[in-house]
Structure formats: structure tokens, C-alpha cells
Amino acid sequence: MGRIAVLIWKELIELKEDRDLFGIVILAPILQLFMLGYAATTDVRDVPVVVADADRSVASRALVARFDASPNFTIVDVVTSPNEVDPYLERGRAWIALAIPPGYGEALGRATPQALQVIADGSDANSTNVAIGYATNLIAGYAQALGARLPAGSVTPGIEPRVRVWFNSRLDSRDFMIPGVLALLLLVITTNLSSMGIVREKEVGTLEQLNVTPLRRWELIVGKLLPYALVGMVDVCLVLAVAVLWFQVPLRGSVTLLFALTLVYLMSTLGLGLFVSTISSTQQQAMMTTIFFFLMPMIYLSGFIFPIENMPAVIQPLTYLLPLRYYLVILRSIFLKGVGLETLWPDALALAAWGIAILSLAVARSTKRAA
């Protein structure tokens, strides 16, 4: 067998023999995607509401019934006075409180406009926004229905907004998140494999043994990284299957392109792991460095969840350094937009450049002879 072939053969045997590692890198991603796919939903459902109904009229009860009937809300309790809602919000038993003032029903009968207080738990700003939005919507729709029944004067028609959502008409955050989770899983697994795997040989002493042979530096690197790339591609297939077949995430673009660009992405992640291995002497160091200097920043700053365009102007240029950023755009575009290389070429190019750069750096640093 050629030298690289025998290296790959050895690496694969070692992986197969380590049952635990094999299970974790091949099977765990499926499990993770499954769980996280279900977690990723900003569709807020069953918002717990506590109602302070000081009116207790037919009209107020009708409004409460509206809330109850909505899938967005769950009535936790109905109290009388607004003062009684405090403990519910404090304990987190309710996210919002609806305060119906006394005289509500009567005012409604006289067609007098009134405002209802919606008290919200702002400690969870994201959900609060959404909950208030739902409440507003519900009440607006209710108001409109009420208005239609009144013998009102002519209402001047105005400008009506018609919204069409492109790419994700259900505005399903799952379709947005799942490609993201795929990208992140791939990053975590392959970077770990390559950084720890090489440092391990350093620690055990087999790396020295290899350095004493005529094995060339690049042969060693290719022989080490190729099996990991293989593992990565297997993971992609498995996770893709779950995403598309189970979660029904639309895959509108070219699968071939997806695989091709994933290979380019793997070049970056594996190169990153290799680089970390050249600056670490123990596996502990490799792990710490990988997680804190690379993985954590990527999960936050790459656009995985937090939009880059929201970040302060100083930070945004930094995100250009993250390969995950480009891969996320590529993945999401291929999944949701179905576009091809003609649109994605800038990101693909950036990804390739990053990969080549980090690999070169890592190769330069991994000399056979210590200086």
C-alpha cells in the first residue's frame, strides 16, 4: 500500500476499534439534530396569561374566551384586581397579564374606544415581544369583528399592505435553524477529531516514531485528515437525511453543490484542528483552545442565531474571519433559496481561501524536526 493509503487504513481501524468514539462521531449527530431540530422554534405557543377581569360582564368573558380559544395562549387564571397578578408574573407562572377595567362591557355597548392594559414579563424580551404581538393581533382582530357589527358610518378605505414571504413562507424557524445546527455539528466534531487526534499521537509518542521515518510531512497530514473528512461526509449524509426526511426542511438547491462546498468547509475545520494541534502539547490544551478560542466565538458571532447585521459596526468585520459564517450562508441558501454557484461564489471563494490559509499555516508549523 502507498504511504498515505496505509495511514488512512490505520486511522480507520483505530476509529473502528474505539467503539465509544465511533458511536459519538457517527451516531450522536443524528441524535443531536433530532433534539435540537425540535427545540428550534420561535413560534410561541401556549403563552400563559393571567387575566384580571374587574368587569365580569358578558363582554369581558367573551374576550377572555377569545384568548382561551387561541392556540397562542393558555389562560392560567382569572383574578379580579390587577394587583393580584403580581405573584403570577414574579413566579413566572404567567408571561403576560391582561387587565380588563371595570365598565368595559358598558363602554363597549356605547361604542366608546378604550385601551386594555397588557402587562408583560420583560425578562424574556424575545418572547415578550412575540407575546405582545400576538395579543395585539388578537385584540385587533376582535375589535375589527366588533366594528363590523356596528352600524358605523363609511370608513374611508386606505392603503392595504399585502405581505409575501419569500423562501420560507411558513416563517418556520426550524428551516432556518436546522441547516445551522448541521453546520455547527460538523464544525464541533471534525475540529475535535483533528486537533485531539494529532495531539494524542504527540502525547503517546507515535508521532515521534512517524517523524523518524521517511514519511513526508504533507503525506502525514493528508493521511490524518482524509479519514476525518470521510467521517465528516458520512455525518453530513446522515444529518441531511434526518433534516430532509424527518423534519421536511426544503432542499431546493443542488445536492452536489452542497456536498462539494461541504468538502471545502471541512478543509477549514480540519485545518483549524490541525493548527490547534501544532500549538498544543497536551490533549487538554488542545481541547481548551479549540473550544474557547474557536468554537464558542463561532456559535455566537457567525450568524448562527444572532444576525450579523445587528452587531455593532466594530464587530462585523471580525465575523469575516469565521468560516462558519460563509458556510451558514451557503447552506441556508442552498436549502431555502435553491440558488447555485452564480450567487454563492463570493462565500464559496471566501471559504476556500480560509481553508487554504489555515491549512498552509498549520502545515508550515508542523515540522518533522523540532527547531
Partner 1 sequence: MSAISVHDLTRRFGDFVAVDRLTFEVREGEIFGFLGSNGAGKSTAIRMMCGLLKPSGGTAKVGGIDVGRDPEGVKRRIGYMSQRFSLYERLTVDQNIRFFAGIYGLRRDRLEARRRFVLEMSGLQSREHVRAADLAGGWRQRLGLGCAILHEPPIVFLDEPTGGVDPVSRREFWRLIDGLSARGVTVLVTTHYLDEAEHCHRVAIIHGGRLAALGTTAELKRAFHGRTIIEVHAGRPVEAMRLLDDMPDVERTSVFGTAVHAVVSMKPGEAARTIRERLEGGGVAVTRLGPVEPSLEDVFLDVAERG
Partner 2 sequence: MRKTLAVARKELRQIVRDRRTLVILLVLPVFFLLLYGYALNWDIRHVRIAVDDRDHSAESRSLVSAFVNSGYFDLVAAADDRTIRALLDRSEVRAILIIPSGLGRAVRTARPIAVQVLLNGDNANTATTVMSYALTIVRSESARYQPTAAQPLVSVEPRIWYNPELRSTLFLVPGLIAYITMITAVVSTALSIVREKERGTMEQVRMAPIDAGPFVVGKTIPYFAISLVSALGIVIAAMALFGMPMRGSWLVLLLALSLFLIGALGIGLFISSVADTQQVAFQAAMLASFLPTFMLSGFIFPISSMPPFLQVVTYAVPARYFLRALRAIVLKGTGIETVWPDLAALVGFALAVLTLAAVRLRRQWR
Nearer to partner 2, 117 or 367 (CB): 117
164 binds partner 2 (CB under 8 A): yes
What type of residue sits at position 213? Answer: T
Binding letters toward partner 2, positions 215-254, x by CB under 8 A: ----------------------------------------
171 conformational bin, left if phi > 0, alpha if psi -120 to 50, beta if neither: left
What strand order describes the sheet that includes 96-100? 73-79, 47-53, 96-100
Q: Measure the CA–CA gap between 290 and 272, rounded to whole angstroms.
A: 8
Q: What part of residues 185-224 is at the interface with partner 1 (CB under 8 A)?
A: 204-206, 208-215
**Site stretch for partner 2 (CB under 8 A), options 49-57, 163-171, 210-218, 257-265:** 163-171
5/39 with CB nearer partner 2:
39
Site for partner 2 contains 80 (CB under 8 A)? no
Which has the closest alpha carbon to 257: 270, 240, 273, 272?
240
Please list every residue from 13 through 52 that binds partner 1, using CB under 8 A: 13-14, 17-18
Q: Does 306 bind partner 2 (CB under 8 A)?
A: yes
* One-character DSSP codes across 168-231: -TT--HHHHHHHHHHHHHHHHHHHHHHHHHHHHHHHHTHHHHHHTSS--HHHHHHHHHHHHHHH
Q: What kind and span of H or E run contains 97?
A: strand 96-100
Distance CA 49, CA 109 (A): 26
Tell me the closest approach of the beta carbon of residue 244 to partner 2, in angstroms. 17
Touching partner 2, residues 318-357 (CB under 8 A): 329, 332-333, 336-337, 339, 343
Give the binding-site size for partner 2 (rule: CB under 8 A).
119
Q: Residue 90's binding partner, choosing from partner 2, partner 1, none, with beta-carbon cut-off 5 to 8 A by kind? A: partner 2
- Select from partner 1, partner 2, none the partner in contact with residue 283, using the beta carbon and a kind-dependent cut-off of 5 to 8 Å: partner 2
